[in-house]
Amino acid sequence: MKLFLITRVVPFVLQLFVRFIYLTSKKVFHHPEIDSNEPFIVTFWHGELLMQPFNYKKIKPKGKVSAMISEHKDGEAITRTVEYLGIDSIRGSSTRGGAKALIGAIKELKAGDDIAITPDGPRGPRHSVADGIVAISQKTNARILIFNCKPTKYWQFNSWDKFIVPKPFGKLEFFIQEPFDLNSLEIDEAKELIKKKLLLNSME
């Protein structure tokens, strides 16, 4: 019964709540012009992930994106929640199932679809960038899209990622930066560039 609640009931209720927040909020989008046929690596901080499916669907209404989600048991609830919001999943992360996830991400990009990564997930440290996003970008030549979402009113958890839940009837500002590649950069340079861009419009 507990497993059923975690993997079925909680995700359904959560996605309804997320939709309610979005529908009752004023939305402002700061988006560049992009080629909707180009496959991208979408990235955002773990603490800002809740509203990002709407950010993606605004710029690619018919796009397919698969999020890299941990194989930890907590990842199952997240997987089912984002599926309700139109996001597929690739199970695995830097701490569990990493090789499988890396291969899966490369396959998605080569098939012409997008992938989504939280570079400081699944367990931090907050606002750190793991090696995986750099490896995937450089192996596929896929460019990166930086996503942020800044609500005017929100709850913030006392978790490692300071997870943010926007409050209904506020204002949501969605940001996407111009796409960029990492081909000419060493791994530490690439990670620093990603971090710098992610912090530009992030919540503190």
The pLDDT value recorded for residue 1 is: 64
For residue range 171-195, list pLDDT tens digits in order: 999 999 999 999 999 999 999 999 9
Note the pTM of the prediction, 2 decimals.
Answer: 0.91
What are phi and psi for residue 109, nearest 5 degrees? -65, -40
For residue range 134-171, list pLDDT tens digits in order: 999 999 999 999 999 999 999 999 999 999 999 999 99
For residue range 44-91, list pLDDT tens digits in order: 999 999 999 999 999 999 999 999 876 665 556 777 888 899 888 887
Handedness of CA 45, 145, 63, 61 (dihedral sign): positive
For residue range 103-138, list pLDDT tens digits in order: 999 999 999 999 999 999 888 899 999 999 999 999
| Distance from C-alpha of 97 to C-alpha of 159, rounded to nearest angstrom | 23
> Amino acid letter at 103?
I
Give the side-chain half-sphere CA count within 13 A for 154.
22
Tokens of residue 155, six digits: 């709850």
- Candidates 171, 169, 166; CA nearest to 156 is 166
pLDDT band at 94 (very low <50, low <70, confident <90, very high): low
